[in-house]
Amino acid sequence: MADEETNTFVQWRHAPASQWLYCPLCRADLKDRCWDGKMRRYCPHCGFVYWERPLPAAATVIVNSRHPTKIVLVRRRYPPEEGQWTLPGGGIESSESPQEAAIREAREETGLTIAIDDELGTWSTPSRETVVVFYVAHPLGGTLRGGTDATEASWVDLEAAPRLAFSTHREALARFIQRQVSAG
Ligand SMILES: [Zn+2]
């Protein structure tokens, strides 16, 4: 329960540069300064600069070659879009490659161990706050069950798939379906 309570406060959210008041290194007041034609928050005391960047994430279309029309979807446990379906995925930790993050998130959210076969593409969220790399993978083992950020994990037929919660996931799934169709 403690974990769940903590998790509800760990949202993917950027604090816009304008909301950064103090240097996280030395606690001096941050000032505005122009770099590369853009205003950035920087610390005149120690030189810290807040480079506003998108957050990197990875997600996966898990497909079983024996049932190529079925993929694994997970139902979100937390806001935003709580209760809605997405592909398994999440944020890339600083110690991980995008592929390692995709494999870890799949294990955490679906219970499946996966092997990555291919990269589908990369999309930005409409707000440009997150960049998501999408992979195609197949299961190696494990037992399908929802975990951590997912209340439920399920094999879903592509034709009966619910609308996914995020535009990046919808775009990636559309690309996947288009590739399946071209592959015949
Ligand atoms: Zn500083």
- Residues 152-178 have pLDDT tens digits of 999 999 999 999 999 999 999 999 999
Establish if 10 belongs to a structural domain. no
Structure tokens at 147: 């975990």
Distance 50 CA to ligand 1 centre (A): 11
What pLDDT does residue 12 have?
A: 53
CA distance 184 to 181: 5
CATH of the domain at 141: 3.90.79.10
Distance 31 CA to ligand 1 centre (A): 10
Based on the fold, state whether residues 25 and 84 are members of the same structural domain: no
What pLDDT does residue 3 have?
A: 44
Based on the fold, state whether residues 19 and 86 are members of the same structural domain: no
Based on the fold, state whether residues 68 and 30 are members of the same structural domain: no
Based on the fold, state whether residues 91 and 159 are members of the same structural domain: yes
Considering its fold, how many domains does the chain have in total?
Answer: 2
Query: What is the extent of the structural domain holding 173?
Result: 55-183
What pLDDT does residue 9 have?
A: 47
Based on the fold, state whether residues 42 and 60 are members of the same structural domain: no
Q: Name the residues around ion ligand 1, CB cutoff 5 A.
A: 23, 25-26, 28, 43, 45-46, 48
Picking from 172, 164, 166, the residue whose alpha carbon sits closest to that of residue 137 is 172
User: Would the pLDDT of 68 be above 90?
Assistant: no
Q: What is the pTM of this model?
A: 0.87
Establish if 153 belongs to a structural domain. yes
Based on the fold, state whether residues 99 and 23 are members of the same structural domain: no
CA-based end-to-end distance of the chain? 47
Based on the fold, state whether residues 27 and 61 are members of the same structural domain: no
Share of the chain residues as helix, strand and coil, in percent rounded to the nearest 5 = 25, 40, 40
Picking from 53, 117, 109, 125, the residue whose alpha carbon sits closest to that of residue 77 is 109
